[in-house]
Structure 1
Amino acid sequence: MARRILWASLAVAPATWILDAVAHPGKVTLFVLSALSLIPLAWLIGEATEHAGEHTGARIGGLLNASFGNAPEVIIALIAIADNLPDVVRGSLAGSVVSNILLVLGAAMIVGPDHSQLQRRSLLAQLGLVAAAVVLLLIPSIPGFHGDPNRHSLALLSIVPAIALLALYLFVTILGIRRRERDEEPGNPGWSMRASLLALGLATAATAVTSEILVHSLQDFAKAAGLSQFFIAFVIVAVVGNAAEHGGAVVIANRGKMKLATQIAITSSAQVGLFVVPVVLLLSFAFAHPLTLAFRPVELIAMGAAAVFVGFVIRDGHSRRWE
């Protein structure tokens, strides 16, 4: 049922484009429609990536997942950089880390079976990676507490932690792929490779167009709703960019597969911190105003505290609905 709804809701994206081109509705309407459009598009990217990976094996599949699995967050961030909205970019990235850890994991524990056994060691390792990312982000963030956090010198300084984060991500990913190749049994591919790549390309292109509408209407939506840009970026944009992944983890938890659901939630956070953040930073140098990784104290505290809190919750390797 959920898949049928997602397939049908893919029509919202082209409807939004046509409405924007022909009817020119208000920015608030466009923001809401584009945000809703991104949910099924993110799901389709995930589906296409998974099916393509079934044809390529663990190595290329892992690369595809890293490259396209986070496409919505990367595209939204790059469009915001092009519009010179660095606070929106950093807010949405920090919000993605926090929402995956707290919102998704919490929802999974509520709908999933109580006292389920979890992969404690793996989850704590992923949380450790999130904590390591926060520590590395202090390098450009602390100088950014004073003066202009978007000055060019901080953008250059941000390259150092970005490269370190990518190196750490590659190291962890290679280890994971080798382990997966050793343990994984070959499955039966669902979609053909051509269909998977076609869906992946179309969904990514549609996400780019829709994200542009979302970002361009963000400021007007914030004013109309009486909300700060930080709240919009940290909460709404972050949740929308990860909505399909969030929903998937909750559905999996509801089926009793708590190990997988919790892995999706926490691994997704680590992937944003170690892969999406540095990739966005490095790609931003193609624009007039490169991004700096000078996160605000509230963003750093939120990411670090979320990792520590969840580590405490899962300390004994079991999920508890009312921890």
Structure 2
Amino acid sequence: MLWASLVLVPVALAAALFGMGDVSVFLLSVLALAPLAWVIGESTEQVGEYTGPAIAGLLNASFGNAPELMVALFAVDSGLFEVVRGSLSGSVISNLLLVLGFSLFVGGRGRIDRRSAYGALGMVALAGLLFAVPALAYGPSASERLTALGVAVAAVLLAIYLVVTAWSVVRERRRHRESGTASQADWSLPRALVTLGLATLTTVAVTEVLINSIESFADASGLSDFFVSAVIVAIAGNAAEHGGAVVIAARGGVQLASEIALQSASQVAVGLIPAVVLLSLLIRPLPVFFSWVEYLGLAIAVAVPALMLLRGRSSRWKGTGMVASYAVVVVVFYVAS
């Protein structure tokens, strides 16, 4: 049924191409992302049989964050800086609370790699602290100095991310090799990687269509640009990745699903946001200034999983607590906007 439902992908793209109503395009795009989520989840699970869950989670995060990078750069080109910042900060928060929470709720009891989890949470916290430096130093009005210091912070964070990621990959490869676990994969590694790449490219196209239709939807609904970018765009841009993590968790892969959510949040905070800041220099320099409500949401998104995963175990009630925390953040965002 899921393979057959992939027909919704060309239908959604055709609907956008031939100018169907924005509401119809939006609904078709959301439906088209569901089977793509399953394909990304399936291929990542197969890759995980060869590499171990930590590297598989990193791969899924990398492929899953590709649509967000494209959306951010398109928005930078249009000068929609608030949308860029809101969607990226909202992506980190939704990964740590919504995706991780749903994964734990669906997967139930299981073990979580505490070392990897707290490493990812620590990276997100570090990014939040360093990006607060430009705002505290110059304030939101000093755009040139704010941008210059933001670029320096972005370069430092990106270098840290690349070094830590390289070290983690080497460590996890060694651990997986020493464990001697036999591969239970149904697909070959090349097939899994090619499928993951093709599904990601298709997701980029569908996500762009979805984002374009969301803007009209937001105008019709009367929601603010900040709320739309921090909540709706952030969730839509991550829809396939979110669904993939939940699918994996439902099959009993709680550890891999948690790695996907945590690695994705870490990658956005320490890798994607700095990359967007640096690439924006080639398009239109992006001032890095997040609002107090975004920092509040980020603090909640780091603190709640840190407390819930203290013992390295997952459960349904912990997942429920994370999803409830995300609902609180969404309400705060709505009131603040």
TM tier, smaller: 0.7 to 0.9
Q: Kindly, what percent of the aligned residue pairs are identical? A: 46
- 1:85 Cα deviation after fit: 1.5
User: Is the aligned partner of 1:225 residue 2:221?
Assistant: yes
Local SS of the residue matching 2:311: coil
Question: CA offsets, 1:147-204, max 9 Å, x none?
Answer: 27xx34433322112111111211211111111221224846825748854x566545
User: Is the aligned partner of 1:118 residue 2:112?
Assistant: yes
1:83 maps to which of 72, 78, 81: 78
Does the CA-based 8 Å contact 2:64-2:238 persist in structure 1?
A: no
1:91-130 to 2 correspondence within 5 Å? 91-114=86-109, 116-130=110-124
**What is the CA–CA distance in structure 1 between the aligned matches of 2:290 and 2:208, rounded to whole Å?**
23
Local SS of the residue matching 1:93: helix
**What is the CA–CA distance in structure 2 between the aligned matches of 1:119 and 1:39, rounded to whole Å?**
28
Question: CA offsets, 1:212-248, max 9 Å, x none?
Answer: 4334333321121222222222222222222233223
- 1:100 Cα deviation after fit: 1.1
TM-score scaled by structure 2?
0.78
Q: Which runs of 5+ in 2 are unaligned?
A: 319-337
1:263 maps to which of 259, 265, 268: 259
1:315 maps to which of 310, 324, 333: 310
User: Larger deviation: 249-258 or 95-104?
Assistant: 249-258
1:1-323 to 2 correspondence within 5 Å? 4-5=1-2, 7-22=3-18, 24-41=19-36, 44=39, 68-114=63-109, 116-142=110-136, 145-147=139-141, 151-185=143-177, 187=183, 190-191=187-188, 193=190, 196-197=193-194, 199=195, 202-287=198-283, 289-323=284-318
Q: CA RMSD in A?
A: 3.3
Question: CA offsets, 1:244-282, max 9 Å, x none?
Answer: 332233233334443333222222211111111111222
**What is the CA–CA distance in structure 2 between the aligned matches of 1:44 and 1:257, rounded to whole Å?**
16
**What is the CA–CA distance in structure 1 between the aligned matches of 2:135 and 2:6, rounded to whole Å?**
39
Q: Which amino acid aligns with 2:299?
A: G
Q: Which amino acid aligns with 1:93?
A: L
- 1:56 Cα deviation after fit: 10
Question: CA offsets, 1:126-160, max 9 Å, x none?
Answer: 21111111111112343575427xx3443332211
- Alignment coverage as a number of residue pairs: 312
Does the CA-based 8 Å contact 1:49-1:69 persist in structure 2?
A: no
Does the CA-based 8 Å contact 2:207-2:236 persist in structure 1?
A: no
Does the CA-based 8 Å contact 1:50-1:65 persist in structure 2?
A: no
**What is the CA–CA distance in structure 1 between the aligned matches of 2:161 and 2:37, rounded to whole Å?**
22
